Structure 1
C-alpha cells in the first residue's frame, strides 16, 4: 500500500483517514492519481472535473472521492462502493455495523486492483461486470454462501467478527483467515474467468493454466464433497499453497491469486516505508541487499519471490517478537512458484 501524504503539511496520512492527523486538512482519496487531495466544502476540482465525497462517507466512513461525471448508476458513490450490488437494509443496525470493516477491505482490494492495472468494470456498466453482495447471516439467519458467480462476489459479513472467523480458521485447519483475504480469493475467481477462461485470454493463457492448475472442467460438486470428506492429500505442501487449494483447479488459482496480492501489497508497503535489508548489517548470512522495487511489472517472478523471502522473514520475526504467529506462515515450493509466476504473467499481460 502506498504511503499517502498530506498535500498541505506533507505528513503521512493513513489509507482510511478523511483528514490529516497533523494539520487537520480535510482530505479525500483520488483513485486515478493514487493520492490524497485537499478538499474545500467536501469537494475538489481536478483536471476540470469536480470530485466530491462518496455518499458513503458518513454511514461507512469512506474517504474516497466520486466524480460528478460518473454514470448516474454509480449513485454518487466512489468506484469501490459503486460495486456493491446488495447490502443490508438501513434498519439492520447489527449488519450495518459489520459493513464498516468489510467495506474498508473492499476499498483496499479495489485500490490494489487499480494499482496493478487490472480491469475493474462495474456490474452497472455491463452484464457480468464486477459486483459485490455484502450480506449477513448473523443478523438475518439466512444461509449465505461465500463465493463468485457470473461476476458477483458474495461475502458474509459475519466473517468480520474476529471470534467467528477464528473459530472457522481453527476448525478448517487454516493458518490464515481474514476478511481482506476472502475478498482477494474471490476476486481470483472473477479474474480467472474474464482473463483466462474467456475471450482472448483463453487463447493466450488457458492451456498453460490447465497444465499448472489442472482442468477446471472437472466437477466442482464432486471435488467439494471429496475435499470435505477426505481432506487434503498427503504431501500437499509440495505442490499447493494451502490445503484448500487442493480441492479443485479453480480454488488453486484463486488461492494463488490471493497470495500474489498478499505478497505484492506487503512488498509495496515495505518499500513505501523505506525498508531495505542491508546484507552487511544483519547477523545472519544474506546473499545481497534487498531493495524492494517500485514495480515488479518488468521483473521475473523469481526476483519478486526472492525479495519476498527476505522481507517475510523480517515480518515473521516481528510478529513472533510480539507473541503472535508468523505474519506469512506459508512455504512456497517450486510448483507453487510456477503457479504464482503464471498469475504474474496474466497480470502483466492485462496491465
Structure 2
C-alpha cells in the first residue's frame, strides 16, 4: 500500500480517506490510476480537476459508509466499483451491528483488491465468468443454521461476520494457535486458494508446485483432521511459513501466497514513508531498505527479501520498545523463500497475460472487470 497526497492542497492522505483533513475536499479512489482524487461538485456527480475534469460517481456502497471508490459517470451503468462488483452476499445493513462489521470487512477487502489490481491478476466477476469468477459471501453465524466457516469453494470466498469483531477474532486466534489471524490475512489466504485453482491446477506450474509444496491429491479432510488432532510436526519452522501450512499442500500454498502479499504490501508502505535503514551497528550494509524499490513491479524474491529483512527488524524492535509482542513472528528459511519465489514468479507471469472469458461479442478481457470505470491517465 502506498501513501497518497491531496492533489488540491498536498496534504498526506491514506487509502481509506474520504475527505482531506486540511482543505476539506471530498476524496475518491480511482483504482485504475491508483490515485485518491480531490473532488468538486456533488452530491451525486463529482468532478476531478486533477484528472482532466472528468465526471465521476461514487460506488453505490459509499451510501452505506462501506466504499470510497469511483466510477466514471455513465447513466444506467453498473453502480458498483471494481471491488464491490465481487460481492455476492452481504449482511443485513439495516442491522447497525452487522453494518458496522461489514464496513470493517470492506476496508480489508479493498486492500486485497488493491494488491490484485497492482499485480494485474485476473479478476473476473461471477457474471463475467460463472465458473471461475470471484465472489465474496459475508455471513452471520448468529442467524445461520450452522457455524459459518471462512473458506474458498470454486471462486466463492465465504467470511464470517464475526471475524470483524476484535474480541471474537482474538478468541479464535488463541483457540487455533494462529499468531497472525487478521481480517486482511483471511482475505489473502483465501485468495491464494482461488489463484491455485486458476493458475496452478492443471497448468505448467503444477509440476513445480508439487516439488515445492507436495502432492495435493492427499486426502484433504483427513489431513486437516490430523492437523487439528496432533498439531504441526517438530521442526516445522524450517520448511513452512506457519504451523497451519503443514496441514496440506493446498494450505501451504495459500499461507505462502498470503505471506507474499503481506511482504509486498508492507514493503511498498515502508518505501512510501521513505524508509531507508542503515543501522549504526551494520558494518557491511546488510540491513538496508532502499527508498526507490517497487515490490509490486519486481518478481525477484531475493530482492524483496533483502528489502524486507530490515523492515521486519524495525517493526519487531519498535514493538518491543513499547512492550508489545513482535509484529512479525515468522522465520524465512531458504525453503520458505523458495516457495515465496514460486508464488512471486507465478503472479508476475499471470500479470503479463491478457486474461479473457468467452462472450457472444468476442473475448472479454478480465484483468479488471468490464463496465465503466475511470480511464488510465494519459
For Structure 1 versus Structure 2, the TM-score category normalised by the shorter chain is: over 0.9
CA 1:120–1:232: 2 relative to 1, 3 Å: same
Residue in 1 that maps onto 2:34: 34
Measured on the aligned residues, the alpha-carbon RMSD in Å equals 2.0
The reply on whether 1:124 has 2:108 as its aligned counterpart is no
Residue in 1 that maps onto 2:148: 144
The answer on whether the counterparts of 1:49 and 1:69 sit within 8 Å (CA) in structure 2 is no
Report the CA distance between 1:336 and its aligned residue: 0.6
Report the CA distance between 1:22 and its aligned residue: 0.8
Residue in 1 that maps onto 2:359: none
Matches within 5 A, 1:94-173: 94-127=97-130, 128-138=132-142, 140=144, 142-173=146-177
Report the CA distance between 1:286 and its aligned residue: 5.2
* Aligned equivalents of 1:328, 1:195: Cα separation in 2: 28
Residue in 2 that maps onto 1:287: 285
The answer on whether the counterparts of 1:92 and 1:139 sit within 8 Å (CA) in structure 2 is no
The reply on whether 1:63 has 2:68 as its aligned counterpart is yes
Matched position secondary structure for 2:233: coil
Q: Which moved more, 1:247-256 or 1:302-311?
A: 302-311
Counting matched residue pairs gives 343
Of the candidates 81, 100, 105, which is equivalent to residue 84 of structure 2?
Answer: 81
Residue in 2 that maps onto 1:236: 236
Report the CA distance between 1:139 and its aligned residue: 5.1
Higher relative contact order at CA 8 Å, sep ≥6: structure 1 or structure 2? 2
Matched position secondary structure for 1:153: strand
Residues 233-289 of structure 1 show CA distances to partners (whole Å, capped at 9, x for unaligned) of 11111100001000111100000000000011010000001110125xx23445343
Residue in 2 that maps onto 1:226: 226
Matched position secondary structure for 1:316: helix
Matched position secondary structure for 1:339: helix
Provide TM-score, normalisation by structure 1. Answer: 0.92
In the alignment, structure 1 segments of 5+ residues that lack a partner are none
* Aligned equivalents of 2:193, 2:2: Cα separation in 1: 25
The answer on whether the counterparts of 2:200 and 2:206 sit within 8 Å (CA) in structure 1 is yes
* Aligned equivalents of 1:274, 1:181: Cα separation in 2: 25
Residue in 1 that maps onto 2:185: 181
The reply on whether 1:250 has 2:227 as its aligned counterpart is no
In the alignment, structure 2 segments of 5+ residues that lack a partner are 352-378
CA 1:84–1:299: 2 relative to 1, 3 Å: closer
The answer on whether the counterparts of 1:94 and 1:139 sit within 8 Å (CA) in structure 2 is no
Of the candidates 51, 59, 75, which is equivalent to residue 56 of structure 2?
Answer: 51
Report the CA distance between 1:104 and its aligned residue: 0.4
Residues 267-322 of structure 1 show CA distances to partners (whole Å, capped at 9, x for unaligned) of 0000001110125xx23445343205124634521121121111110011111222
* Aligned equivalents of 1:304, 1:14: Cα separation in 2: 23
Report the CA distance between 1:174 and its aligned residue: 1.7
* Aligned equivalents of 1:98, 1:140: Cα separation in 2: 16
The answer on whether the counterparts of 1:60 and 1:103 sit within 8 Å (CA) in structure 2 is no
* Aligned equivalents of 1:233, 1:69: Cα separation in 2: 56
CA 1:296–1:38: 2 relative to 1, 3 Å: closer
The answer on whether the counterparts of 1:135 and 1:154 sit within 8 Å (CA) in structure 2 is yes
Residue in 1 that maps onto 2:356: none
* Aligned equivalents of 1:70, 1:237: Cα separation in 2: 55
Residue in 1 that maps onto 2:93: 90
Report the CA distance between 1:61 and its aligned residue: 3.6
Provide TM-score, normalisation by structure 2. Answer: 0.86
